[in-house]
Structure 1
Amino acid sequence: MLHHFKGFSMRRQRPRGSQLGLLLLASQLFQVGLDNVPPVTLGVLGLNVYLYLFPAAPLMQACVSVQNAYWHGDWRRLFLSPFHHVDDWHLYFNLTSFLWKGINLERRMGGAWFLYVLSVFSLLTGLVYLGLEAGLTLLTDDHSYSVQCAVGFSGVLFALKILSNHYHPGGVTHVLGLRVDNRYASWVELVLIHLTNPGTSLIGHLAGILVGLLYTAGPLKSIMKTSAAWVTGPSRFSQPNNSYSGYSGTRSGGPAGGEYAGRRWDQAGGMTEQEQLDQALRNSLNDAGPRPGDAAPPPYGFNLSDEEVRRRRLMRFDR
């Protein structure tokens, strides 16, 4: 959740006593296994926990609003607000949600591109939030919108949820006990969270949804690719080297102490399903067979058998 505060009447934080939220978060991580969390996801989790324990600024100096960022020129709040939380439960719910989204999306996109996406989403969500609040101020002539100060990571989480649903079309998800089609899950969650917890920022969550849509259905991904190619060079960007090959922990039935072999394959961050299938087919056709020391194939079908390659080709031609 992303909380907002009107003006300087910020509600009191819960006393930092038992820190049950932190304990539950640690329990969740150990259940998953630290070795099973990709490095960027783990690093972002660690950054949020560190800034909760040792904040870079008090909450009222870290939250972002039109008044503080635009009127007073304190733009550093755009970088601080996503990574600061009101209390341990705020931190727990946000990071638990991010844990699963991060594992799935980082494995799919690769660490470098996922870090790039997180950086852009964190900054852009704040900018869109400011734009929405400023627009509401002008439309309603109500300056309370400009002084609502938001803090928390859930705006970014809503953007990541749009990505996750885009990469896994169809199916249903459960939102507060309701079965909802994945296409509408973010919108239903936006409304229900605001109704059940009025202290959350509806505009902040909406900003995250809009950023996610800008990436999946708008020009944002193309702009990011062009910018990355301009910085790194077109030849390097055309085939990014994402060597992270899934979980690094030991797997059952494998050799003693065996880990995934760190096998390398090319996977462009943010590829469509069809692009990933084409890449998988090329990789499989270029593979002369298992390499010595390969403990397991990489995830997401990047080591298809010849029979599977033929079957998928036929399916494509049938379409």
Structure 2
Amino acid sequence: MATATTSSSYPPPPPYYRLYKDYLQDPSSAPDPPPPVDGAYPLFGATYTTDVVLPSLEDQGVRQLYPKGPTIDFKKELRALNRELQLHILELADVLVERPSQYARRVEEISLIFKNLHHLLNSLRPHQARATLIHILESQIQRRKEAVEDIKRRREEAQKLLKESLQTLDGNHGDLKRFFLSAFYHMGESHLVYNMLSLLWKGIQLETSMGSLEFATMIASLLGLSQGITLLMAKGLLLFFDYDTPYYRQYSVGFSGVLFAMKVVLNAQADDYTYVHGMIVPSRHAAWAELILIQLFVPGVSFLGHLGGILAGLVYLRLRGSHTGPDPVAALIRNVGGIIGRPLRFIRSLFWPQRQRISGRGTVGGSQGAWDASSVWRCEVCTFDNSGLLDVCEMCSTERGGPAFSPVRTLNSSGDLSVDEVRRRRLERFDR
């Protein structure tokens, strides 16, 4: 069976490249050159021998027009032959008109010039190949040096980034508890009261519509998202725009980021309008309007913290929209709580009779499940979101109206409650 051989236009490189070292440091480190090629060798698909040399013009019976000698100035001689060729071609046109008998001699002289040019070029081929190889190697070396310098530059940037990151984890910047606990710390009583009132206003509506467990998992998710997005934005401004003191070296506290995220979630599906510091804006854009107004008129607020909260709310809505089914975190907590609470419920049933705690908003966390957002109606006067079980606003006692209104079920099976009865029951529930 014949053995397949692979032919190449050029011979393979010598196997000595692994032995080369820094010649400037150790001149003797360079290996000996490979032995010269002897015998036959393939080139461009043909086989040649080392005995084959370029024959001279005299051996071919052609008169040599340039000087003879071991050293030839190829550039000078090629230019001279080129000018002589141009002159003979111009004279050839004159000969054709005035002396046609000299046409053959002029053509023979032009042919002689071409033969000398061709022989000079063939003699220059080895020098040209060597110069071309040197140029290719120099270009490759230059590209390798540029690549090495680029790698070094990127390595220095990576080392600088790692060093800065490690510094942020040391000393005052390494307290990871601040990532979560800073949201629960407030600068003063007014700051705390304002945020808690906002939390109460938004929390009542969200917890009513989704249930206590879902509401708790949403708050935990929004807390981590808002803090993480704020930190990433501050770090990005430091790395890409060199904003050090204005954002990255600042200390921000408060629950405002989570409150902005809750506002985005609360107004995500709203198509009506609401008041934001005296301005009427679409409800779904209320968070952005409040962000701008607070930044303009309230000094010392954290712009990145509020913006991070809005982005956290948008990310939460996007993640919830892409996930079908219940919240996995809430389901996990519900299952674990059910397993742990089963023995406790059994023991409690032995000593205390089971009673169901009823309020105007239903049994919190009970078996009735989470209410849908469609079971909540918004008052046209104070824009408070009320339970679908009520016909009167809990905040301003305005009756529920609208052309599509139909009586809803109430806790009294004998009929609809009057306004006075609703007020009386509400006062009893809040112990007023």
TM-score bin (small chain):
0.5 to 0.7
Q: CA RMSD in A?
A: 3.6
Partner of 1:202: 303
From 176, 181, 190, the equivalent of 1:89 is 190
Asked which structure has the greater RCO (Cα within 8 Å, sep 6+), the reply is: 1
Residues 77 and 245 of structure 1: CA distance in aligned 2, closer, same or farther (over 3 Å): farther
Once residues 210 and 102 of structure 1 are traced to their aligned partners in structure 2, the CA distance between those partners, rounded to angstroms, is: 19
Report whether the alignment pairs 1:180 with 2:277.
no
Once residues 70 and 246 of structure 1 are traced to their aligned partners in structure 2, the CA distance between those partners, rounded to angstroms, is: 49
Partner of 2:66: none
Quote how far apart the aligned CAs of 1:74 are: 1.6
Q: Is the 8 A contact 2:388 2:408 kept in 1?
A: no
Once residues 196 and 166 of structure 2 are traced to their aligned partners in structure 1, the CA distance between those partners, rounded to angstroms, is: 28
Residues 100 and 219 of structure 1: CA distance in aligned 2, closer, same or farther (over 3 Å): closer
Quote how far apart the aligned CAs of 1:173 are: 1.3
Quote how far apart the aligned CAs of 1:219 are: 4.8
Once residues 284 and 211 of structure 2 are traced to their aligned partners in structure 1, the CA distance between those partners, rounded to angstroms, is: 24
Q: Describe how 1:264-303 pairs up with structure 2 within 5 A.
A: 264-267=367-370, 273=374, 299-300=387-388
Once residues 94 and 266 of structure 1 are traced to their aligned partners in structure 2, the CA distance between those partners, rounded to angstroms, is: 29
Look up the equivalent residue of 2:266 and give its one-letter code.
Answer: S
Once residues 387 and 287 of structure 2 are traced to their aligned partners in structure 1, the CA distance between those partners, rounded to angstroms, is: 27
Partner of 2:229: 128
Give the number of equivalent residue pairs: 198
Partner of 1:147: 249
Q: Is the 8 A contact 1:107 1:246 kept in 2?
A: no
Look up the equivalent residue of 2:370 and give its one-letter code.
Answer: Q
Q: Is the 8 A contact 2:214 2:327 kept in 1?
A: no
Quote how far apart the aligned CAs of 1:229 are: 3.9
Counterpart of 2:281 in 1: which secondary structure? strand
Look up the equivalent residue of 1:89 and give its one-letter code.
Answer: S
Report whether the alignment pairs 1:156 with 2:261.
no
Quote how far apart the aligned CAs of 1:106 are: 0.9
Quote how far apart the aligned CAs of 1:116 are: 1.1
Once residues 314 and 243 of structure 2 are traced to their aligned partners in structure 1, the CA distance between those partners, rounded to angstroms, is: 28
Quote how far apart the aligned CAs of 1:183 are: 1.9
Q: Is the 8 A contact 1:245 1:299 kept in 2?
A: no
Look up the equivalent residue of 1:165 and give its one-letter code.
Answer: N
Once residues 363 and 248 of structure 2 are traced to their aligned partners in structure 1, the CA distance between those partners, rounded to angstroms, is: 52
Q: Is the 8 A contact 1:111 1:244 kept in 2?
A: no
Once residues 167 and 323 of structure 2 are traced to their aligned partners in structure 1, the CA distance between those partners, rounded to angstroms, is: 32
Quote how far apart the aligned CAs of 1:83 are: 0.8
Q: Is the 8 A contact 1:101 1:160 kept in 2?
A: yes
Look up the equivalent residue of 1:133 and give its one-letter code.
Answer: A
Once residues 154 and 261 of structure 1 are traced to their aligned partners in structure 2, the CA distance between those partners, rounded to angstroms, is: 29
Report whether the alignment pairs 1:193 with 2:294.
yes
5+ residue gaps, structure 2, are: 1-164, 339-355, 377-385, 391-405, 410-432
Once residues 190 and 220 of structure 2 are traced to their aligned partners in structure 1, the CA distance between those partners, rounded to angstroms, is: 24
> Any idea what the Cα deviations from partners look like across 1:129-183, whole Å, max 9, x if unmatched?
101111111221122221111100111000000111125x111111111111112
Once residues 222 and 321 of structure 2 are traced to their aligned partners in structure 1, the CA distance between those partners, rounded to angstroms, is: 10
Once residues 183 and 261 of structure 1 are traced to their aligned partners in structure 2, the CA distance between those partners, rounded to angstroms, is: 30
Residues 181 and 261 of structure 1: CA distance in aligned 2, closer, same or farther (over 3 Å): closer
Q: Is the 8 A contact 1:84 1:151 kept in 2?
A: yes
Partner of 2:15: none
Partner of 2:19: none
Q: Is the 8 A contact 2:264 2:287 kept in 1?
A: yes
Look up the equivalent residue of 1:202 and give its one-letter code.
Answer: F
What TM-score comes out, normalization by structure 1 length? 0.53
From 195, 205, 219, the equivalent of 1:118 is 219
Quote how far apart the aligned CAs of 1:225 are: 1.8
Once residues 161 and 67 of structure 1 are traced to their aligned partners in structure 2, the CA distance between those partners, rounded to angstroms, is: 36
Residues 107 and 137 of structure 1: CA distance in aligned 2, closer, same or farther (over 3 Å): same
Q: Is the 8 A contact 1:214 1:220 kept in 2?
A: no
Look up the equivalent residue of 1:119 and give its one-letter code.
Answer: A
> Any idea what the Cα deviations from partners look like across 1:72-114, whole Å, max 9, x if unmatched?
3321112211111101111111111111111111111111111
Higher Cα radius of gyration: 2
Q: Is the 8 A contact 2:272 2:282 kept in 1?
A: yes
Residues 225 and 147 of structure 1: CA distance in aligned 2, closer, same or farther (over 3 Å): same
Counterpart of 1:265 in 2: which secondary structure? coil
Partner of 1:170: 271
Q: Is the 8 A contact 1:158 1:186 kept in 2?
A: yes
Q: Is the 8 A contact 1:101 1:164 kept in 2?
A: yes
Quote how far apart the aligned CAs of 1:272 are: 6.6
Counterpart of 1:123 in 2: which secondary structure? helix
Look up the equivalent residue of 2:312 and give its one-letter code.
Answer: V
Q: Is the 8 A contact 1:67 1:146 kept in 2?
A: no
Counterpart of 1:198 in 2: which secondary structure? coil
Once residues 185 and 197 of structure 2 are traced to their aligned partners in structure 1, the CA distance between those partners, rounded to angstroms, is: 15
Report whether the alignment pairs 1:103 with 2:191.
no
Q: Is the 8 A contact 1:160 1:212 kept in 2?
A: yes
Look up the equivalent residue of 2:369 and give its one-letter code.
Answer: D
What TM-score comes out, normalization by structure 2 length? 0.40
